[in-house]
């Protein structure tokens, strides 16, 4: 199994910044894509940003130029630097990890599976 622990959320004023971190641990064999999603009350969960193991990034149009995703493969950790935050970006932010896991000492899962963190609350308000 994979456990994802997010940190860095909190209350920030409009225009402020936060840096989210997510560390993956457990019986990980390999990680493909890691990403950040967010979900506001009454809304669908949406992709904010993702990054491949090779460092290729993808961003939602609404955050381009303001957010930056990065990862440390050695630490199985992904980060999201969020700048110029807007009130409408208040949401629970979830870390996602697409990974293959060790199912025993001699077996590895046959496919990549999505794992999710518990989420961290980001509130942008004055």
Residue 30's contacts (CB-CB under 8 Å, 6 or more residues apart) are: 53, 99, 100
* pLDDT for res 105: 83
Give tens-digit pLDDT for 38-92.
999 999 999 999 999 999 999 999 999 999 999 999 999 999 999 999 999 999 9
CB-based contacts of 116, cutoff 8 Å, min separation 6: 4, 94, 95, 96, 97
Q: What is the pLDDT of residue 42?
A: 93
Can you tell me which residue has the tokens 């440390």? 72
């Amino acid at each position: 199994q994979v456990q994802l622990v997010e940190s860095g959320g909190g209350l920030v004023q409009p225009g402020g910044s936060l840096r989210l971190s997510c560390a993956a641990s457990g019986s990980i064999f390999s990680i493909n894509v890691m990403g950040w999603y967010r979900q506001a009350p009454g809304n669908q969960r949406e992709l904010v940003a993702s990054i491949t193991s090779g460092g290729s990034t993808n961003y939602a149009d609404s955050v381009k130029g303001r957010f930056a995703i990065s990862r440390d493969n050695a630490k199985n950790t992904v980060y999201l630097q969020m700048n110029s935050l807007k009130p409408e970006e208040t949401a629970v932010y979830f870390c996602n990890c697409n990974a293959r896991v060790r199912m025993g000492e001699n077996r590895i899962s046959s496919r990549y599976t999505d794992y999710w963190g518990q989420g961290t609350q980001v509130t942008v308000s004055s």
